[in-house]
Structure 1
Amino acid sequence: MNKLKFPIFLFLIDAVTKLLAVLLLPFNEYVPINDDLSFYLTYNKTPFGAGTFYLGMDNVDAAIYSALLGFLYGSLFLLVNKIIRGDKLRIVIFIALIYGLSYINIQLPSIGFLHSWSPRSIALIKFSGIIWMVFLFFHYTKIKSYAYLWGMLLAAALGNAVNYLIPPYGAVDFISSEYLTRRIGMGIFNFADVLVYLFGILFLLRILLSLFTILKLNIQGICRYAKFRNGKGQRS
């Protein structure tokens, strides 16, 4: 339960900021904060955006396949979790599996009959796959730093998914940054979107730190072995 407090706390921050934006901000009007940042309340009722793997496909198909990939990656993680012992090794193997799958060039068919479904339904399908995947990562990860990172992403996915269940039935976006729009095409965003980008940056840094630690330990082991061999040679 203690581990769950962190994503719940972030989810509540996201919910409160969105509620305040809806109550206090004019719709579709810029409210400048400084030269770069503005408030701009809008509702993203499309099923796209954060959490969508576009795969070079039509947006509707991309959203559906994002859900399928979420269920696939979550199931793969369960399999890796049962077979492999050691949290760090699991993470490395799982990331290798994801990258390996991403390089398989398969022409995925269009799911034509789903194109007539409402954007809200497609968004909820997409988020269901993503939440399944992220929750499994969060639940089974024993290393605290990784668990907190997955908790951050879980809060973001839940925060945006809930928006499609209640009026106005779309993600509540209310922050605009000209700099971020120019640099990374972020557009209008919310607190949950910030968590997604923050997760990406911190997760990469955590992976690099793990690799550096492994490299450092290997170098130390090699140095100790070399000293041992040299000392043995001198005694003989």
Structure 2
Amino acid sequence: MHVLILGGTTEGRRLAELLADAPGVRVTSSLAGRVAAPRLPPGEVRVGGFGGAAGLAAWLRQHHVDALIDATHPFAGTISFNAAKAAAGAHVPLLALRRPGWVASEGDDWHPVGSLEEAARVLPGLGRRVFLTTGRMGLAAFAGPELGTHWFLVRSVDAPEPPFPARMEVLLDRGPFTLDGEREILRAHRVDVVVTKDSGGSATAPKLAAAREAGLPVVVVRRPAGPDGVTGVATPEEAVAWVRALGG
């Protein structure tokens, strides 16, 4: 049974590890190639795009894929819609593996927004020293002159490319992060507002606890809607059970 995982996430790697040990299963993980040195999962790995939904459907047929699992980042919206179209066109069962989003706790000062652009618009009323943890993509939203007096600490795995904020320091790092480490970042850089995407999971959640302790506002970009009608699970273990059920 050939399973293609659209991965690049912690859950995608964990799923590949579980399926690599499963008898009668061949697993291929597909990575987008946006990170220079990704953590490679076990099994076969391919890097790069497919050329849209039609290209992915052709790949599914050519490589005799029996099951497709979309374990991409919650904000990698385009590939999820392409996966739904490709799976329907190639008549391949599709599962979405999505970690649950974060839930605000007592004491949190969250400001939900619908996009990075909206996050940039609300910043002037919240603070001027920004811990920006949305990754290296989309920094152009914060590069406008209206935020010219703001200072940004940008954390990403790889160095960002312009356009980006005029006053910026880059912190190259990869999760999981610790609560003590996040506390120190907020203290050392005199951060007064945090901006994040609702990625979910535990690897990057400590910043939320650190911000809560420090009484800082957090701008949280809501997840985009995914394709309709796709079966979803929250854990790699549930995805393995789905694969086993397909295999009879």
Whether TM-score is above 0.5 comes out as no
Q: Please give the TM-score of this superposition, normalised by the length of structure 1.
A: 0.25
Please say which structure displays the higher CA radius of gyration: 1
Q: Which has the higher strand share?
A: 2
Q: Which has the higher helix share?
A: 1
